[in-house]
Chain A
Amino acid sequence: MENMIEVDNKKLEPASWVEEHGDFLYRYAVSRMRNSESSEEVVQETFVAALKHIEQYQAKGTERAWLLGILKRKIIDFIRERTRTVSLSEEKIIDLPDTLFDQSGNWNKDIQSAGYTPLCSLERKDFWRILGGCLKKLPSRQADVFVLREMEDQGTATICSELEISASNLWVLLHRARLQLSNCMKMSWKLDSE
Chain B
Amino acid sequence: MKQTTNKMPMWLRYVINIIVFFVLFGGSTGLVNSSIISTYYTRIIVLCGINMILALSLNIATGYLGQLPLGHAGFMALGAYASAIFMRSVTVSPSAIFPLGILIGGVTAAFVGFLIGIPALRLKGDYLAIITLGFGEIIRVVLLNIDSVLGFKFTYGAASLKNIPKTTNFFNTFLCVAITCFVIHTIMKSRHGRATLAIRDNEIAAEACGINTTYYKTFGFTLSAFFAGVAGALYAGYIGVLSPSAFGFMKSIEILVMVVLGGMGSMIGSIISATALTALPEMLRAFSQYRMIAYSLLLVIVMIFKPTGLMGNYDFSLSSLIGKIGGKSKPKSKTKTKPEKDGETNE
The answer to whether A binds B is no
Chain B interface (Cβ < 8 Å from any Cβ of A): none
